[in-house]
Amino acid sequence: MTPPTSTPLPPPIAGADGAPLRIAVPNKGALSQAASDMLREAGYKQRNDPKQLALTDTDNGVEFFYLRPRDIALYVGEGTLDLGVTGRDLLRDSRAKADEVLTLGFGRSTFRFAARPGVLGGDATDLAGKRVATSYPGVVKGYLEERGIEATVIRLDGAVETSIQLGVADVIADVVETGSTLRQAGLEVAGEVILSSEAVLIGRGPDSAHPGVEVFLRRLQGVLVARSFVMMDYDLPAARTEEALALTPGIESPTVAPLHKEGWVAVRSMVPRDQAQRIMDALYDIGARAILTTDIHACRL
Ligand SMILES: Nc1ncnc2c1ncn2[C@@H]1O[C@H](COP(=O)(O)OP(=O)(O)OP(=O)(O)O)[C@@H](O)[C@H]1O
Ligand SMILES: O=P(O)(O)OC[C@H]1O[C@H](OP(=O)(O)OP(=O)(O)O)[C@H](O)[C@@H]1O
Ligand SMILES: [Mg+2]
């Protein structure tokens, strides 16, 4: 017997000049691994060698460039690359002409002021006259300017927490995730959250969009849905259908099919992963049985 041949698929969508979609991916740092994992989950080829600079995925018509996350907004803002993955804080800091297209749900952090206990109160005006060390001078200067506060901003590349101990700064402004780095340095956050950040897909608005952007976005949205929803199946006395559907309304509308057993239906619906157990309990209470959840591996809504 001859093996089945693969289904003929349309070629990937190319730009006006036949160019593939060009996408920037963080080459190192906190966002790098998670960004590549997400792209792999969306069906794209990713590098296996962390030193590789670029990779062409011919089947999907996409070229990936592995760049410093801090530089990505610049490339996208200049129109050199069509899309990029970076942090919201890095995008703001760059002041590049790029926009957030999609939030990606990883790399979450806050951006905060911190100092030795007692140096800052809760008010922004406490920053007046202080020396503020940061790797994000664009974000910090923007914050101070908006409030008319005069302070000296000292730009450092990293390990900003140590600058206070070394007498270079009175205050730092930095990424805080767990807070453990601050605690180790004997520092405390002060004042409001300057910025809540996460990984974002950035682009340059509709004018410059490559025609392949839409498919790329749909694939990433598919990953986000597959990560945040599970498929739920259950059997239910038909008389309880309305109550059950209120608990599992699904995204479009749930599938309800008759069961062989008289007066029973089978229901299939997508439910938010983080609520799945509570929904199962509630369904059980109204008479549902054989309640199962399964992971969704990929999806297009
Ligand atoms: N724990 C964390 N530490 C640093 N950055 C984080 C953390 N969690 C999320 N991020 C986000 O990662 C991005 C910082 O990327 P960057 O590559 O500078 O990471 P990094 O770990 O500081 O790498 P490097 O220190 O090599 O510069 C920012 O968008 C930041 O908000
Ligand atoms: O709240 P936490 O969970 O402790 O995480 C925040 C710390 O992580 C990052 O430092 P990184 O390791 O990237 O070093 P860097 O300061 O040299 O960039 C960031 O700059 C903070 O120092
Ligand atoms: Mg860092």
Q: Give the tens place of pLDDT for each residue, 102-150.
A: 999 999 999 999 999 999 988 989 999 999 999 999 999 999 999 999 9
Tell me what the pLDDT averaged over the chain comes to. Answer: 95
**Ligand 1 pocket mutation, candidates 28, 175, 195, criterion most atoms within 8 A of CB:** 175
Pocket test for ligand 2, best of 135, 157, 177 (most atoms within 8 A of CB): 177
Positions of E strands within the chain: 21-26, 54-57, 62-67, 83-87, 99-103, 109-115, 131-134, 152-155, 171-176, 188-197, 199-203, 229-237, 255-258, 264-272, 289-295
Does this model's pTM top 0.90? My answer is: yes
Q: What is the ipTM of this complex?
A: 0.95
Q: For residue range 192-246, list pLDDT tens digits in order.
A: 999 999 999 999 987 667 999 999 999 999 999 999 999 999 999 999 999 999 9
Please give the domain boundaries of the chain with CATH numbers for all domains: 21-106+199-211 (3.40.190.10), 109-197 (3.40.190.10), 230-295 (3.30.70.120)
Task: Write the burial class of residue 18 (CB in 10 Å: 0-12 exposed, 13-18 middle, 19+ buried).
Answer: exposed
CA distance 133 to 207: 38
